[in-house]
Amino acid sequence: MASASAPTIERPPQPPIDGSYHHPEELLTAAHSTATIGDKIADVVLAQPHPKAWWFFFGIGLALLSAFGLGLIWLFYMGVGVWGINQPVAWGLAIVNFVWWIGIGHAGTLISAILLLLHQKWRTSINRFAETMTLFAVMCAGVFPLIHMGRVWLGYWLFPFPNNMAVWPQFRSPLAWDVFAVSTYLTVSIVFWYVGLIPDMAFLRDAARNKWQRWVYGLLCLGWRGSAFHWRRYEKLYLLLAGLGTPLVFSVHTIVSFDFAVSIVPLWHATIFPPFFVAGAIFSGFAMVVWLAVPLRHLYGMKDMITDRHMELCGRVMIATGLLVSWGYTLELWMAWYSHSKYEWDTTYQRIWASPYWWSYWCLILTNTILPQLLWIKRVRMNELALFLIAGSVHIGMWFERYVIVITLTRDHLPGAWGRYAPTIWDYAVMFGSVGLFMTLFCLFLRVLPMISITEIREFLPFGQGGRDGHACMENAK
């Protein structure tokens, strides 16, 4: 006789008769099959005309990129003296923008590598454009150290190559460490991004409407045929690159923080800078993911793949990393007071109240600490406009964080060494021009490559419908 308390075995969700499938975790809200997923994502590249808003953003990007080009031409002709840099502010907006862009580029590798190793399925709908964001952000960041050199054509001196001039990098300088860290990060990110694209480019090759598309995507997919052998090698390599990219998420911004932390300047010489910079990088990186995801959902009708659940989870990551950043600000004040160092405390007082740049510190606190606290409210996290505006405040706040670190320390304990920093029009041309470079590259990416991974979205489907255990069916769905 069966016991009344026998456990009930729940049956897994079964796909409907037409082959469509709803994901139970609200990560794929519409009913989809293997074919409809591939068609919807690939048609953005192959067939669907791009919305008018695409042309609007592309036009803004080109306009800002033109200003970027003019700024660089004048900079190379006249030298870095056209900027507002002077003693005691010798770095100016160039280093501010460098660290800001590097921070934005962190979320792509985090989503792709760390969340993949942790088996977080919600990364699937946002990892492709987040990875692309990483590449373009690192490219924008890499421009600034080169042009700050003044003689950009001698930038290759930063690399240890065999030469007869005996010119070698100063390996004790954190600026040389930046070169190795950023170049390694960019290289691994490009390989990881490209490997993930290979199955999707094979799909675009088979679905192409003309011979040029078939030829280009056929060349880029490296002979992919979707065999079991290909899938086995692909998954091993993808997992290996994820494991390789994971420590880079922490190492790159840690090394960037050493630009300040290894100095003896008050408020810079602090052991908290490495974890503080990493948390801030992830904070700003996820804010950029939100800024990209919101227009993509609306302009291309991707709300069923980039769902409200994805947006809420991004908001949760932002509130977690935002708390870490706010804790870092608190520790800076605590250590300045508890150390009983008059240099640390006087510099803190100058930064907060007495400096001509006191307003920038409070803009930082408002946008990075106070406004993100609204994300504790689920209604705010689920409100797309509110989340978008808070993400925008994070971008402003993280830029001001770098501004506060670099610019505000213009008053030390010798009044004769006091100075002021005033950016010129050429500082702003290069700064906003880098934004134009990012916008232009990202708009072009939307035209030629799938913004969402077709392969990984199909893994949401159950066995026999092209899911994780049915890779062999994927390439034959058409």
Nearest to 401 by CA among 393, 413, 390: 393
Query: Whole-angstrom distance between the N-terminal and C-terminal Cα of the chain?
Result: 52
Separation CA 403–CA 396 (nearest Å): 10
CA distance 249 to 255: 11
CA 12 to each of CA 115, 126, 449, 463: distance values in angstroms, whole numbers, following the listed order: 24, 26, 34, 11
CB of 284 within 8 A of CB of 395? yes
* Bridge partners for 21 per DSSP: 32
In this predicted model, what pLDDT tens digit does every residue of 389-399 receive, in sequence order?
A: 999 999 999 99
Q: What is the pLDDT of residue 23?
A: 52
d(CA 277, CA 309): 28
Q: 430 lies in a domain?
A: yes
Q: Count up the domains in the chain and report the number.
A: 1
| Of residues 457, 35, 476, 462, the one with CA closest to residue 227 | 476
Under a CB-based contact definition with an 8 Å cutoff, are residues 129 and 443 in contact?
Answer: no
> 131 to each of 56, 94, 104, 125, 265, how far by Cα in Å?
23, 24, 11, 12, 35
**Torsion over CA: 397, 400, 402, 408 (sign):** negative
Position 5 in a domain: no
Confirm whether 1 is domain-assigned.
no
- Quickly count: other Cβ atoms within 10 Å of residue 6's Cβ: 7
Could you tell me if residue 264 is inside a domain? Answer: yes
Asked if 102 and 141 count as a contact pair (C-beta separation under 8 A), the reply is: yes
> Residues 95, 100, 101, CA angle at the centre, nearest 5°?
100
DSSP at 158: G
d(Cα 369, Cα 385) in Å, to the nearest integer?
Answer: 19
Smallest CA-to-CA distance from 454 within 16, 29, 26, 33 is with 33
Predicted pLDDT at 1 = 43
Q: Are 106 and 252 in contact (CB under 8 A)?
A: yes
Ranges of residues in the chain whose predicted pLDDT is under 50: 1-22, 24, 463-478
Q: Fill in the amino acid letter for 56.
A: F
What confidence score (pLDDT) does residue 110 get? 81
Each residue's pLDDT tens digit, 155-211: 777 777 766 667 777 788 888 888 888 888 999 999 999 999 999 999 999 888 888
Tokens linked to 289:
């993911």
Tell me if 9 is assigned to some domain. no
pLDDT value, residue 471: 44
Domain-located, residue 476: no
Residue indicated by tokens 């800001």:
100
DSSP 114: I
Tokens of residue 454, six digits = 């077709």
Domain residues for the domain of 449 are: 39-470
CA-to-CA dists, residue 75 to 6, 99, 100, 236, 255, angstroms: 78, 21, 21, 46, 28
Q: DSSP per residue over 165-189, as a string?
A: S-----TTSHHHHHHHHHHHHHHHH
Answer yes or no: is 390 within a domain.
yes
Per-residue pLDDT, 72: 93
Classify residue 178: in a domain, yes or no: yes
Q: How far apart are CA 103 and CA 436, in angstroms?
A: 18
What's the pLDDT score for residue 4? Answer: 45
Q: Is the bond preceding 169 in cis, omega lying within 30 degrees of 0?
A: no
Q: Kindly write down the DSSP assignment for every residue of 379-396, as one continuous string.
A: HHHT-HHHHHHHHHHHHH
Contacts 24+ apart (CB under 8 A), 128-132: 128/196, 128/197, 128/450, 128/451, 128/452, 128/453, 129/292, 129/293, 129/296, 129/442, 129/445, 129/451, 129/452, 130/289, 130/292, 131/189, 131/192, 131/193, 131/196, 132/108, 132/193, 132/442, 132/445, 132/449
How far is residue 87's CA from residue 410's CA, in Å, rounded to a whole number? 8
